[in-house]
A and B are shown apart, each in its own frame.
Chain A
C-alpha cells in the first residue's frame, strides 16, 4: 500500500522559511516522479512543483518560482520542499503526491496523495 506522510508544516511569519518533508513507502520511490500540490483554505487545488524520478526534470508554478525548491533523496525515499520568502498567500494544506509515471518526458496523472501538512503564514 502506498503511503505518503508529510511533515514540517506550521505557523511562520511572512518572509521566513520552512522546509516540508514527505516520507514515502509501499512502492519503489525512485521509479516515479513526485509533486507538491497545495490547497488554500476553502479553495481549489494548485500544483506547486514536480520532480522526475532522477531529478533530471524539475518544474515550478509561476507563483512560487524563485522562492521554493523541490528536491528528493531516493536513498531515503523522501521528497522535500524548501520554502523561502513566504507570503500570506502561501497559507495552505500542502500535499505530497505520487505521479503514475517516472516523468521522463513529463508528468502524468497523480495516483496517490498524502494527507497534507498545513502551512500558515501570518504575523
Chain B
C-alpha cells in the first residue's frame, strides 16, 4: 500500500497571499498525482492531474509540481473562494489503485 502524507494539516493564509501545500508518497508514484479541492457540504473537485496539469476550468493561480515522492500545490494569490480542504491522491496500476492523503485545510488568517 502506498501511503500519502500531506503537510501541514492546517494552513492559515491571508487573502491575496501565496499558499504552498505539500504531499509526500511512501514510494515513487512518478507523476501519477492529482489534487482535489473540497468545500463544506460539497463533493471534491479535481484541480490538478499528472502532478502539474490543470483540469478543465481551473484558474491559473493553481499550479502543481513535483515527481517521484515529493509534490507541491501552490495557490499563487488566495481568493475568498479558495478557502477549503485540499487532498492529494496517487493513482497506480491495479490493484494498488488509489490512495488519498489526509488533507490540508486552508483557512483565513
Contacts and interface: CB of A to CB of B under 8 A. Distances in A.
Interface residues of B, number: 28
B89 A106 contact: no
Interface in A40-60: 44-47, 50, 52, 57-60
Contacts of A110: 34, 36, 44, 46, 89, 98
B100 to A, nearest CB: 4
Nearest to A112: B46
A107 B44 contact: no
B87 interface: yes
A107 B85 CA distance: 23
Interface residues of A, number: 27
Contact of A35 (B45, B49, B92, B98): B98
A106 B90 CA distance: 11
Interface in A95-118: 95, 100, 103, 105-111, 113-116
Contacts of B99: 47
Contacts of B38: 45
Contacts of B32: 108
Interface string B30-60: 0010101010000111100110000100000
A106 B91 CA distance: 7
The 10 closest A-B pairs by CB, nearest first: A109-B49, A113-B43, A106-B93, A59-B95, A109-B34, A47-B98, A57-B94, A59-B97, A45-B100, A44-B103
